[in-house]
Chain A
Amino acid sequence: GAGVSQSPSNKVTEKGKDVELRCDPISGHTALYWYRQSLGQGLEFLIYFQGNSAPDKSGLPSDRFSAERTGGSVSTLTIQRTQQEDSAVYLCASSGGGLNTEAFFGQGTRLTVV
């Protein structure tokens, strides 16, 4: 597609359930980022994929969070046993890779844990 696509746009889930959030980056982009933005807050780095390199998982807040990127394209962020504090907007971005390339963001997935 022309831009970064995220699905679903909104997700309401019950506490304790697992959720999967999907990101479809811009075709050809080798770098993919996941961020979390809580209400009125900044962007919290979660994980970074670059090509075939091992991902930088240093931002994942707990072992309930995991992400994978299949075939160097689509990425899925999985949150297991969701908690109310997981409620936030999850943003995905992709770039051409390298320090100088800007990241293009999707519209985000708003996750609400009730």
Chain B
Amino acid sequence: AQKVTQAQTEISVVEKEDVTLDCVYETRDTTYYLFWYKQPPSGELVFLIRRNSFDEQNEISGRYSWNFQKSTSSFNFTITASQVVDSAVYFCALNGENEKLTFGTGTRLTIIP
């Protein structure tokens, strides 16, 4: 069975602060993909990034960066210089060999102006 854990249920930070969202996963598969999605107040989930289990190279895209560490089964997401528009619920997800896309419970991020 596969499982995704997002221990942080809610985070609030003041605008321009950096914030890291944690994600820990469990799987017995050797091949899998990890994803981050954003759900703004409008409700529709939006894909942000994917990472495969063989690629531990971390990535930076603008204000977003991702840290994948297979040794600790973690796939954390950092927003630097946060903005009010970043306020949303962020979901981490795993797609394993059974292709059953499994989501964590989400982290509600509030950026305080």
| Chain A contacts to B: CB under 8 angstroms | 31, 33, 35, 40-43, 45, 48, 50, 56, 58, 89, 91, 93, 95, 97-100, 102-108
Q: Is the interface of B mostly helix, strand, loop or mixed?
A: loop
Binding site for A on B (CB under 8 A): 6, 31-33, 35, 37, 43-47, 50, 52, 91, 95-106, 108
CB-nearest residue of chain B to A40: B108
Question: Which residue, A43, A89, A100, A104, has most C-beta atoms of chain B within 10 A?
Answer: A43
| A103 with B105, Cβ < 8 A, contacts A43-B91, A89-B43, A108-B43 known | no
Residues of A within 8 A of B105 (CB): 41-42
Interfacial chain A residues near B104, Cβ < 8 Å:
42
Structural contact, B50 and A35, CB atoms closer than 8 A: no
Determine the distance from Cα of A98 to Cα of B52 in the docked complex, in whole angstroms: 12
Once bound together, how far apart are the Cα atoms of A43 and B101, in whole Å? 10
Q: Tell me, in angstroms, the Cα distance from A104 to B47 when the chains sit together.
A: 7
